[in-house]
Structure 1
Amino acid sequence: MKTNMKFRRIFTIIMVGILFIMSACGNDNSASDSETEGETNNSEITLDSAMGEVTIPANAEKILAPYHEDALLALGVTPVAKWAIGQAVQEYLESDLKDVPTIEWNLPVEQVLNHAPELIILENNMESYEGTYEDYNKIAPTYLMTEETVKDWRKQIETFGKILGKEDEAKKVLSDYEDTVSSARDQLSEAIGEETVAVIWAAGNQFFLFEQNRHSAEVLYSELGMKQPTLIQELGPAVTASWNPISVEKLSELDADHVFLLALEGEQGIETLENSSVWQSTPAAKNGNIHIINDPSNWTNKGLLASQQTIEDILSALVK
C-alpha cells in the first residue's frame, strides 16, 4: 500500500508537468473548425477533420481515443485501450474501465498495433505521440480532431456522436447534463448564497490555485455560478497550459469562504497547511470549510463525466 501511495504521489507530480500536453495540443495544425457529416456508403462516413475531409468506417467497434475516453463512455462506448502513464490512469473513469488494458500516453506504435483498433481518434497536434499520422493510419483509419473539438468537451460529444452514429445519444447526454447543472445551481444558491469558493491542488508539497477557467474551475464559476474570492479574480483566466505553484504565504491572501483541497490521502501538502499559522488564519480554515477531495482526477480534467463527478463532489460538501 505504501509503495502504491508513493507511486501515486510521484505520478501526481509528473502530471503537473504533462497534464496539459494533451489539452494544449492542436495549436499548430490549421484545418476546418467544424465537423460536417456526409455518407459515402452504408459502411463509411465522411467528416471534416484536422487533416481535411476524411472517410472513416461507420460501424467500427474497436475504438481507440486516448485521453478522451470520457467522451466515449458518455456515449456508451468502451474503448479498446485506455490512456495511462505507466500503471497510473484517469482514476475517475476506473469504475467503467477497470478491465480495459492500458496504452502508454505517447502511443507507441507497437502498442497501438497490438490493440488492433478498427478506428483511432487523436488530437490535432501530433507532437505528443511517438508515431506519425501515417503510422497510425496504416494500422486503422485515423481521425484527427480539430483544435476547437480538442478544447471543447461538448464539441467532442457532438463529434464523437457523428463518428459513432450516436447523434441522438449525444444530444440527450448533453441535455441531461444541462439539467444537472441547473438543478445543482439552484441547490448551491440556496445552500451557500454569495459565499465564495476556491480550488487548490496539493501535489507533493506544492500548491496550485485554480484560475477561473482552469479545468473544473469552469464548472464552479461559469456553470454553477459560484462566487470567486478576490485572489481568484485578481489572477484572471489562465492564459497558458503551464501550472505555476503558489506559496503558502501567498495563500494567506485567499479570502474564500470555502476551499476544495485536492490531495491524495496522506499527501504532504495537507500536513503543511495544517501546521501553517498563515493558512489557518484564512476564512475557510478558521470556519472549518476546507473540503478535502482525495481523488483529484476528475477535478483536473475536462469532460462530461469529469464535470458530473465534480458537481457531485461539490453538492456532497456544500449541500447539507
Structure 2
Amino acid sequence: MLKKVMLSSAFLLALFSLAACGQNNDSKETNKDVHSMTDALDHKVDIPKKPKRIIASYLEDYLVALDEKPVAQWTVGEGKIQHYLQDKLKDIPTINYDMPYEDVVKFEPDLLLIGSNGSLEGGKYKEYSKIAPTYVVKNGDGVTWRDQLEDIGAVLGKEDKAKAVEKDYDQLVSQTKKELKNEIQGKSAVVLWVTNNSAFMVADNRSSGQLIYKELGFEIPQLTKDISKKATADFSQVSLESLSQLDADYIFLVNSDNGAAMFKDPLWSNIPAVKTNRLFEFDGTSSWLYNGPIAYTQMVENIRNVLK
C-alpha cells in the first residue's frame, strides 16, 4: 500500500512538473512574439514582432516606405486624404484624423502608432491601449522625418530598411545638387501655399524649407528669414503686400485655390519670380504639404523636373 502511495505521489509530481514546464515554454513563446520599447511619452510598450493590422494615422508615408500597409488611412472629412500615397493605399479604408474610439475598435488593430502627443489629450492613450499596444512616435520641434522613420523602423523591426530608405534619398539629393548646380548655387527660392485666397510661406527650418535650404542649398530670401523667426508651424501667413517685395529667384507654389482673387492682383503679377516665369506650380494633392521619406522624395523629383 505504501509503495502504491509513493508511486502515485511520484506520478502527480511528474504531472505538475510537466505542466509547469509547459507553462514556462508557453511564456517563452509569448515573449518571443513581442519586444518592448519606450515611446515618446515614456510608456513601456510590448509590441508584436510582426503586426498585421496597423493603424498609424498621418504616418502612412513611413509605413509605405517600410513596405507595410495600414488597415485604415488618415482623412479629414470626406475625400481629404494623402493623394500622393494612393498608388499604394487606394484600396485602404479611411479613419478620421481624430481616431474616434469606436472606429478604431472596428478595425481590430494589433498595433497603434501615434504621431503627436497632442492627439492623446483627454485620456485617449488609456482608451487606445485597451484596444491594442499603443506607441507614440518621436514628435515635436526639432524632430525630423528621419527621426520618425528610424523610430518606426525600430518598432517594426525594420531598422535596416529605414537606413536603406535614407540612403536612397540622400543619393537622390546628392545627384540633384550635382545635376542642377548652375540652377541652385547662388539662387534663392521660397515655398508658398495658397489656400482660401491667402498665402502662406514655409519656414526655413521646417518641412520643405528644410529640404530646399539645408539639403539642396538654395539661398534664403530675407522675407523668409523674417517669417521664420516667429514661425510656430510649417507654414506662416504672409500678406500680398509683403510678397510684392519678395526677392526670390524661384517660387515653388502649392496651389490649393486655383481661382484665388490674389492671382489677378497687380501686386502678385509684379513679384519678380512671377514676372520672369520662375514660378513653378504644384496642386494641393501633391506631397508638398506633408512629411516623410516619400513626400520628400517626390518634392526633390518635382524640383528636378521643373529646373532641369
Asked if TM exceeds 0.5, the reply is yes
Q: Which amino acid aligns with 2:36?
A: T
Match of 1:41 in 2: 31
From 298, 301, 308, the counterpart of 1:312: 301
CA contact (8 A) 2:202 2:236 kept: no
2:73 aligns with 82
In the alignment, is the contact (CA less than 8 A) between 1:119 and 1:141 conserved in 2?
yes
Aligned residue identity for 1:288: N
Match of 1:173 in 2: 165
Tell me the residue number matched to 1:31. none
Structure 2 unmatched ranges of 5 or more: 1-28
Deviations 1:176-217 (A, max 9, x none): 111111111222223343221111111021111222123211
Distance 1:42 1:85 in 2: 38
SS of the residue corresponding to residue 209 of structure 1 reads strand
- Report the alpha carbon displacement of residue 126 of structure 1 after superposing the two structures with TM: 4.5
**Offset from partner CA, 1:220-258 (integer Å, 9 cap, x none):** 111111112222133334541285422211111101111
Aligned equivalents of 1:280, 1:100: Cα separation in 2: 42
Whole-angstrom CA distance in 2 between matches of 1:126 and 1:246: 26
Range with greater deviation from structure 2 (215-224 or 190-199)? 190-199
Distance 1:230 1:243, change over 3 A: closer
TM-score with structure 1 setting the length: 0.80
Q: How many residues align?
A: 278
Q: Which has the higher contact order (CA 8 A, sep 6+)?
A: 1
Distance 1:175 1:82, change over 3 A: same
Measure how far apart 1:72 and its partner are: 0.7
Match status 1:202 vs 2:194: yes
Q: Give distance in 2, aligned partners of 1:210 and 1:153.
A: 16
Contact 1:261/1:293 (CA < 8 Å) preserved in 2? Answer: yes
**1:70 — aligned with what?**
61
Q: For residues 248-267 of structure 1, what are the structure 2 equivalents within 5 Å? A: 248-264=240-256, 267=258
Distance 1:54 1:224 in 2: 38
CA distance in 1: counterparts of 2:279 and 2:137, whole angstroms:
39
Say if 1:158 and 1:192 are closer, same or farther in 2 by CA, change over 3 A.
closer
Task: Quote the Cα distance in structure 1 between the aligned partners of 2:229 and 2:59.
Answer: 24
Where do 1:156-235 residues align within 5 Å?
156-235=148-227
Deviations 1:109-148 (A, max 9, x none): 0100011111111135254567611111111111122446
The answer to whether 1:56 aligns with 2:47 is: yes
Contact 1:92 1:295 in 2 (8 A): no
Q: Is the 8 A contact 2:184 2:217 kept in 1?
A: no
> Which structure shows the higher helix fraction?
2
Is it true that 1:286 corresponds to 2:278 in the alignment? no
1:162–1:110: structure 2 CA closer, same or farther, 3 Å change rule?
same
Change beyond 3 A, Cα 1:123–1:210: closer
Q: Over aligned residues, Cα RMSD in angstroms?
A: 2.3
1:139 matched to 2:131: yes
* 2: CA distance, partners of 1:76 / 1:57: 17
Aligned partner of residue 173 in structure 1, secondary structure: helix
**2:72–2:94 CA contact under 8 A, matched in 1:** yes
TM-score, normalised by the number of residues in structure 2: 0.83
**Residue of structure 2 equivalent to 1:272:** 262
Distance in 2, Cα, partners of 1:40 & 1:175: 35
Higher mean C-alpha deviation, range 300-309 or range 52-61: 52-61
Contact 1:177 1:308 in 2 (8 A): yes
Q: Are 1:303 and 2:292 counterparts?
A: yes
Secondary structure (helix, strand or coil) at the match of 1:299 reads: helix
CA distance in 2, matches of 1:193, 1:144: 39
SS of residue matched to 1:202 = strand
Is there any run of 5+ residues in structure 1 with no aligned partner, and where?
1-38
Larger Rg belongs to: 2
Percent of residue pairs identical: 36
State the distance in 2 between where 1:245 and 1:204 align.
12
| 8 Å contact from structure 1 (residues 201, 207) kept in 2 | yes
Q: Which one-letter code corresponds to 1:298 in the other structure?
A: S
